[in-house]
Amino acid sequence: MTVEERILQKARELGIGKCGIIKAQAMLDYGARLQERMDRIPQGPALYGRFRGFADPREAFPWAKSIIISACFYGHYHIPQALLPHYGKYYLVDMRLNPASAEAQALRAFEAYLHELGLRTATEEKYGLTALRWAAFKAGLGCIRQNNFFYTEEGSWFALNAWLIDRELELIHSPQVPACPPACTCCIRSCPTASLSAPYTMNMATCVSRLSTANEVCSYSDEINRMMGRWIYGCDACQNSCPMNKGTWKDRDRFPGLEDLASWLLPEQLLSLDYEDIRKRLSEKFFYIQEGSLWRWKLNAINALVNDFQEAAVPALLKAQEDSCELVREKALWALHRIGSLRRSSTRPT
Ligand code: B12
Ligand code: SF4
Ligand code: SF4
C-alpha cells in the first residue's frame, strides 16, 4: 500500500468524509482567482490582499511540499429550530476548538497518524494556512459552485481542514458532482445585501457573516440593519436557497453542548445577559466576536427583534436602554422608535 493509500484509509477509518493530497505548487492558481476578486470588488486589495499568502504557503513554511486536505460533513447535526433564522449552521456546530466533537477528535487522531508516518505537519484550525475551498477543489474532492461554496455530491455542508506536509505526495480524486443548473441564480437572488453580486463574485465587506461578527466600534445604517434581517451570527442564505443543497441536511446527531446553549442564543435572552455572562458562555465557541466587542451580540439581537417586529421585545429593549455600552443604548432607543412606528403604520386605517 502506498503512503497516500494509507493516509486515505486512515481518514476513512476515522469517519473523515473526504481526503485528498495536492502538491504545494497546485495552489498557485488560487492567486489568479484572488486577483480577479480584488479587481471586481471596491477596495479589493485592502480587503483581500491579506489572503495572498494562501497561494503559496511555502513562503511561510519553506519545508512544505504537499497539502493534505479533508472535508468533514457537518450536515448530520440537529439544529434547534428557533436558531435557524439567526445563525449560520457552521458556527453552531463548529468543530474548531471543541475537543468534544466527533470531528475534532477524528482530526486530532488523523494528525497523530500523520506524525506516526514520520511526516512533519503544520495546520491552523481557525483560519487555515491556505485557501481551503481551492485546495479541496484541486484535490478533486468536489466542485466550487457559483456561490463560491465547495460542494460534494452531499451538498455544501462541509468544514475543510488542511495540513502542510514535508513530503511530495499526491492523491487526486475524480468528483461526481453535476454542474449548477443552467441559468440558476437562486443564490444571488437570496443574498440579503447583494454581497454575492454575480457568479463567483462576493464582497466580504458587505457579507452578513462579516457584518454580524465585526469588531469595529460602529453601528450600521438603517438600510444595512434592514438587510441583515434576523441574522445574529453568520448567514446561510446563499446555501439554503441552492437547489444543490435540497434534502442534504440530515438532522441525525446532537452536537455536544448545543442544546444547553440554545436558549441563551435567542435574541431576547441575549439582551438579558450581562457582558461577563456573554464572555463566559459564548466567547470561546463564537470567537469571531472578540471579548472587547461583546456589545456586537446585543446590537445584532436588537436588530433581529426589530426586523422580526417583536412587540413582546419592548420590555427587553427598555432594559437595554440602561446598558453600560452607549452603542447598545442608542440602538435600543432606535429599536423602540422603529417598533413604535411599525405598530402605527400597521394599525393605520386604509
Ligand atoms: C475569509 C473567510 C471568510 C470571510 C470572507 C469570505 C470569502 N468568501 O472570501 C467571511 C467572514 C465573510 C466568511 C464568511 C463565511 N464563511 Co468563511 N472563510 C474565510 C477563509 C478564512 C478564507 C476564504 C478566502 O480565501 N477568501 C478569498 C476569496 C477570493 O475566496 P472565495 O470567496 O472563497 O472564492 C473561492 C471560489 O469562488 C473560487 N473561484 C473564484 N472564481 C472562480 C471561478 C471558477 C470557475 C471556479 C470553479 C472557482 C472560482 O476562488 C476562491 C477559492 O477559494 C476560509 C478558510 C480558508 N482558509 O480557506 C473560510 C471558509 C471559506 N468559510 C467557510 C464558511 C462555512 C463560511 C460561512 C458560511 C459561515 C456562515 N455560516 O456565516 C460564511 C459564508 C460567506 C460566503 N458567502 O463565502 C468555509 C466554507 C466551506 C465550504 N463548504 O465552502 C471555509 C472554507 C472555512 C472552513 N474551514 O471550512 N468567511
Ligand atoms: S453568506 Fe449571506 S450575505 Fe454572505 S454572500 Fe451568502 S447570502 Fe450573501
Ligand atoms: S443556487 Fe444555483 S447558481 Fe447558485 S450555487 Fe446553487 S445551483 Fe449554482
- List the domain boundaries for the chain: 1-259, 266-340
pLDDT confidence bin for 348, thresholds 50/70/90: low
User: Ligand 3, from 133, 137, 143, 147: best to mutate by most atoms within 8 Å of Cβ?
Assistant: 147
Residue nearest to atom 8 of ligand 2 (CA): 191
Length of the chain: 350
pLDDT confidence bin for 8, thresholds 50/70/90: very high
Question: What's the gap in Å between 12 CA and the centre of ligand 3?
Answer: 29
Q: List ligand 1's pocket residues with C-beta within 6 A.
A: 30, 33-34, 37, 48, 51, 54, 88, 90-91, 127-128, 131-134, 144, 148-150, 156, 158-160, 200, 202, 204, 207, 209-210, 234-236, 238
* 195 contacts 203 by C-beta, under 8 angstroms: yes
pLDDT of residue 334: 94
pLDDT of residue 350: 46
Question: What's the gap in Å between 235 CA and the centre of ligand 1?
Answer: 13
The candidate with the shortest Cα–Cα distance to 240, out of 85, 136, 83, 134, is: 85
**pTM of this prediction?**
0.96
Instruction: Evaluate if residue 4 carries a pLDDT over 50.
Output: yes
pLDDT confidence bin for 340, thresholds 50/70/90: confident
Average pLDDT over residues 171-194: 97
Average pLDDT over residues 170-177: 96
Residue nearest to atom 57 of ligand 1 (CA): 128
SS3 sequence, the chain?
A: CCHHHHHHHHHHHCCCCEEEEEEHHHHCCHHHHHHHHHHHCCCHHHHHHHHHHHHCHHHCCCCCCEEEEEEEECCCECCCHHHCCCECHHHHCCCCCCCCCHHHHHHHHHHHHHHHCCCCEECCCCCCCCCHHHHHHHCCCCEECCCCCEEECCECCEEEEEEEECCCCCECCCCCCCCCCCCCCHHHHHCCCCCEEECCEECCCCCHHHHCCCCCCCCCCHHHHHHCCCCCECCCHHHHCCHHHCCCCCCCECCCCHHHHHHHHCHHHHHHCCHHHHHHHHCCCCCCCCHHHCHHHHHHHHHHHHHCCCHHHHHHHHHHCCCCCHHHHHHHHHHHHHHHHHHHHHHCCC
User: Ligand 1, from 148, 212, 228: best to mutate by most atoms within 8 Å of Cβ?
Assistant: 148
